[in-house]
Structure 1
Amino acid sequence: MRRSWQFFQTVLGIIFRHPVTGATIIPILPDGRIVLVQRSDTGEWSLPGGLVDWGEDIYTTVKRELAEETGLDLIKIRRLVGVYSAPDRDPRIHSIVVVVEADVQGTMQVCDRQEVLNVQAFVPTNLPKGKLAHDHQRQLQDYFDGLTTLA
């Protein structure tokens, strides 16, 4: 009985005391504009993305989250921008996010109104600075600086 309880505690510790993994996309339209979504929970602008589902790889997560949040199609992933893992990067949970730059196309539309209020494309010089969720300002700055970041 004691051994079963220890095993159960270990499993709970693994599940609830470890960060979750996600993917964030810097979507680039053919005209060079960057697509952001306005979050329904805070009203802040953010890069699209979300958690990796069980049995899913990062590429599939990028494709799914992009479609769910923006209505856009993934053409190709250009490059890895970074992996961000600071425990305080997301105020809700400790998450590790893989950030990629991606070529996208299609018609922007809000597909999940529970998560997204608005989808909008911005020229890189006119992004809503200082109003971005989580650490997306840093992710975009690293992207503009041509960095590949491990933070």
Structure 2
Amino acid sequence: MIESAEEFVRLRESEIEEEYERAATDELPLNVCLDIIARFPHKKQWVVINKTVPIEILELLADDEDVRFEVATKRKLTRDLFLKLSKDPDATVRERIACNAKTPIDILRGMYPDEWDYINETLEERIKAYEEKKNNLIGR
């Protein structure tokens, strides 16, 4: 477990691969995340990337212009976060939600059509794959 903001920054900036990897994989408690964001805002992207980042931090940073894209890549988002980010004004954020394997199908359907063709293509592929999988399960 990462015990402090300083430890996280040291691990993240380490040239030792095992230490660098710990910043992405070791448990990152809520209080440590909040301290990193407050004292080392340039490291908040790496907080989001951590595999154990608390959902409360993702909720906090979902409005952050600098890291919304990274938040949208997380598979553990709540339904409310998926919905919120699916309506983001930034096309790259919407595209990440369209590509996120955990985005609920009704949210994907609600995103279609998007103003950007590449997002529509992704949505069409995801919705079609869902329908095919559903039909295969029903046909058994």
Q: What TM-score, normalized to structure 1?
A: 0.25
Greater share of strand: 1
Give the structure, 1 or 2, with the largest relative contact order (CA under 8 Å, sep 6 or more). Answer: 1
Greater share of helix: 2
Q: What TM-score, normalized to structure 2?
A: 0.27
